[in-house]
Amino acid sequence: MDVDAHHIRDAIREAIVERRLAPGTKLSETDVGSLFNVSRTLVRAALQALSYEGLVNVEKNRGAFVAHPSILEAQQIFAARRLIEPVILREAAQRIGKAEIRHLRLHLADEERLRNERGAAARRAEIKASGDVHLAIAEISGNAILKRFMDELVARSSLVIALYGRSVASSCGHDEHQQIVDALERRDVDAACALMVEHINHIEADLDLRSAEKGTDLRSALRL
């Protein structure tokens, strides 16, 4: 199995976004390297990439840690989403067609299915599926740069929810996703934008200012 830096980065990112790796967990270079059977060189590249995405903090001479967003950062992440997602939505609305609506409905069905499943694995998949709806909309906007910005915002949001989330969050979100897509389908862009902002408000309202959990076991989190 040939593993490169991208593979390691993706594996760690997925673990962070699906909250198998708790914020604050130390990502030792040698540990990660031995898990993937590669040298520290590739691990460092992966960790550096993740630090650009804001998912990992690299402290000089101390090592890399799963990011631990402050409350201020959390607020800024959601503020950014409130500002950017409506304009992306408007852009997407201009280009949306039957095929795109169908694609979004597939995502919603996925969410619905996972919501009815039991178990931790289903919960993690649901978290990812929830973010994927937002990313699918960004994809429809047709702007690769905005899509990348959303990638980062969604990933970091997941981290914030892991830290400060009260309930399992996304449970209340699915209905709102559906309403947004409904509004898009009937070409009511203003309503869709309003619903989107409300949706983001709801996610943020579910957060709490409680301190974080401790780091979890690296190996089990990466499923290795």
- Footprint of DNA (CB under 7 A): 4-5, 26-30, 38-42, 44, 58, 60-64, 223
Q: Are 23 and 159 in contact (CB under 8 A)?
A: yes
144 binds, among DNA, a copy of itself, none (CB under 5 to 8 A by kind): a copy of itself
Length of the chain: 224
Q: Which of 80, 135, 172, 197 binds a copy of itself (CB under 8 A)?
A: 80
Asked if 84 interacts with a copy of itself (CB under 8 A), we say yes
Q: Are 203 and 161 in contact (CB under 8 A)?
A: yes
Asked if 67 interacts with a copy of itself (CB under 8 A), we say no
**Residue bearing tokens 């934008």:** 193
Q: Which of 29, 91, 132, 188 binds a copy of itself (CB under 8 A)?
A: 91
State the minimum distance, in angstroms, from the CB of residue 144 to a copy of itself. 6
State the minimum distance, in angstroms, from the CB of residue 222 to DNA. 9
Q: Could you tell me the two tokens for 21?
A: 């790796």
State the minimum distance, in angstroms, from the CB of residue 208 to a copy of itself. 21
State the minimum distance, in angstroms, from the CB of residue 152 to a copy of itself. 8
Q: What is the contact mask toward a copy of itself in residues 112 to 141, using x (rule: CB under 8 A)?
A: ------------------------------
State the minimum distance, in angstroms, from the CB of residue 151 to DNA. 23
State the minimum distance, in angstroms, from the CB of residue 146 to a copy of itself. 5
63 binds, among DNA, a copy of itself, none (CB under 5 to 8 A by kind): DNA
Chain contacts with a copy of itself (rule: CB under 8 A): 44-45, 48-49, 52, 54, 73, 76-77, 79-80, 83-84, 87-88, 91, 143-146, 149, 153
